[in-house]
Structure 1
Amino acid sequence: MFIIALTLFGLLLGSFISMLSWRLPRIMELDGREQLKAISLGGSKCPQCQTNIPWTRLIPLFSWLASKGQCHACHTPISVRYPLIEFTSALLVFISFYLLGNTLEAWLTALFALWLLTISIIDFEHKLILDNLSLPLLWIGLLINSFGVFASPQDAILGAAVGYLSLWTIYQIHHLLTGRHGMGFGDFKLTAALGAWLGIMALPQVIIIAAVSSLLIALLLILFKKQAWQQEMAFGPFLALGGLASLVLSQ
């Protein structure tokens, strides 16, 4: 019952993540106080007809299913991104507590997973990893590992430094050889955050999982003619996958 209750709470968090990942990239030009107002004020509206959506139609996942994925006012289809994010959030919370029980590690793993989910959605949709998500994740990782939760303090500090420098070095070599930008600076900061959480010894596994999974997905997209060879693809979601897989496998 405890895990079921937390899973339902994960649905609510997924609803918040879907809202945050939609609004945050669109308000980055505002200052900090205005950003908080833009995120916290204003109810949900249909993007087509701008009709306010009542709270009875904002129940995560179930409202979308009950309305058959349509706006109650204009019957315009509502993007499947919302139930997918809510379901994924609930699944991540369920996995965290199912594997680790009601422990500090489970709570932190769920936080880590949901934070990475938010970063991944924004990077997938906008090709952008925001500093105000990746940098707090880095500092939280260093803070919790100052108590040795997932790695020793020394390994966490080295993980953050080497995580940043490893992708920065790959970027510089790629740019020197090709004259093109192979990845963004947000990827460096995200890898530093993963190193802060997992420690330096987990970084090779994180990068290998990210590289292999991104290559496989890219090949499949090219094979099915969904993407061109030279088309840019977000790397953040694959780093997030590598980081989350490494954390779960280490428990």
Structure 2
Amino acid sequence: MTTLSLTQLLIFSGFLGLIFGSFISMLSWRLPRIMEHDGSEQLKIISMGGSKCPQCDSELPWYRLIPLFSWLASRGKCHHCQVNISARYPLIELTTAIGTILVAWQFGLTPMGYMALVFTLILITICVIDFEHQLILDNLSLPLLWLGLLVNTQSVFTTPTEAIWGAAIGYMILWLVFHAFKLITGKEGMGYGDFKLLAALGAWFGFVALPQIILIAALSSILVALIGIALKKRNVNTPMPFGPFLAIG
């Protein structure tokens, strides 16, 4: 079998990442709505229906679903109603492609690389939903946590002991921060989904990675908040998702 060169691998990974990104953009749009309409007739429509224009509800043909290129070719407009299609779709696809390329460049076609790719795809999905809905779903964060623990039974990214402690300490740190903040201010500063996400990151990379993750997440979130306030795009009471900043860390 011919071995792929690094350049070929990265190009292939980029195209594969666009496909994964297209799926993530669909999944991240549908999952919160599925949770919202759980048990209703609308649930079947949301979960099983084909991709449609969110404005005119017209079905999108297959050639309009080609990741990134379809959006560029149509100049970001629906082929039927000519209303602008959100840039979220190409942005998610492009972000996922970049993430897939970085994983391939770092790990190559190895078991560690495959696990890192699964981690990256789930994490991107979590971040998109949290950014758009301020919500981290248990059916994403908990599988990520358990998968991290299972992967590290073979010491892939860290030792089993560090993975277990990472999950426990990660959850406990934000749990303590949450209750301390609530005790002082009477307000809830974050959601329980953030606890579970940090626990998942601890399960994947061990407790030794937690200080760096928390520091970068805290500093980057403060910086973004200050920039938003300076530009008058937000105020001190505007809620801000913390999950994407944990992912950056």
What is the TM-score when the length of structure 2 is the normalising length? 0.93
Superposition pairs of residues 216-227 of structure 1, within 5 angstroms: 216-227=223-234
* Selected match of 2:32 from 10, 22, 25: 25
Distance 1:74 1:45 in 2: 12
| Number of residues of Structure 1 aligned to a counterpart in Structure 2 | 241
Question: What residue number does 2:216 align with?
Answer: 209
CA distance in 2, matches of 1:241, 1:226: 22
1:41 alignment partner in structure 2:
48
Q: Distance in 2 between matches of 1:241 and 1:233?
A: 15
Instruction: State how far apart, in whole Å, the 1-side matches of 2:204 and 2:43 are.
Output: 27
Match of 1:130, as an amino acid?
Answer: L
C-alpha displacement of 1:100: 2.1
Residues in 2 aligned to 1:48 and 1:30: alpha-carbon distance in whole angstroms:
20
Output the CA distance in 2 between the equivalents of 1:86 and 1:4. Answer: 15
Match of 1:192 in 2: 199
Q: After superposition, where does 1:68-83 map in structure 2 within 5 Å? A: 68-83=75-90
Which residue of the other structure, out of 115, 119, 125, is the alignment partner of 1:108? 115
Q: Which residue of 2 is the match for residue 140 of structure 1?
A: 147
1:96 equivalenced with 2:103 (yes/no): yes
> Structure 2 CA distance, aligned partners of 1:39 and 1:73?
21
Shift of 1:2: 2.4
Q: Residue by residue, what CA displacement relative to the aligned partner does 1:88-130 show, whole Å, maximum 9, x if unpaired?
A: 0000000111122222222222221111110011011111000
Which contiguous aligned blocks of 4+ residues in structure 1 show a shift greater than 6 angstroms?
A: none
Q: Which runs of 5+ in 1 are unaligned?
A: 243-251
Which residue of 1 is the match for residue 18 of structure 2? 11
CA RMSD of aligned residues (A): 1.7
State whether residues 160 and 200 of structure 1, in contact with CA within 8 Å, keep that contact through their aligned partners in structure 2: yes
Does the aligned pair in 1 maintain the 2:13–2:101 contact within 8 Å?
Answer: yes
Structure 1 equivalent of residue 159 of structure 2: 152
Q: Which amino acid aligns with 1:111?
A: V
Match in the other structure for 1:85: 92
Counterpart selection for 1:58 from 41, 62, 65: 65
In 2: Cα distance, 1:78 partner to 1:61 partner: 12
SS in 2 for 1:146: helix
Assess if the C-alpha contact under 8 Å between 1:142 and 1:196 holds in 2. yes
**Whole-angstrom CA distance in 1 between matches of 2:244 and 2:34:** 22
- Provide the rounded CA distance (Å) in 2 between the counterparts of 1:69 and 1:127: 26
Cα distance in 2 for partners of 1:184, 1:24 equals 18
Residues 12-68 of structure 1 deviation map (CA, whole Å, 9 limit, x = unaligned): 010000000000001115669x99966652111111111101001110000000000
TM-score of the two chains, using structure 1 as the length reference = 0.92
Is contact 1:28-1:35 (8 Å) kept? no
Unaligned ranges ≥5, structure 2 = 1-7
2:35 is paired with a residue whose SS is coil
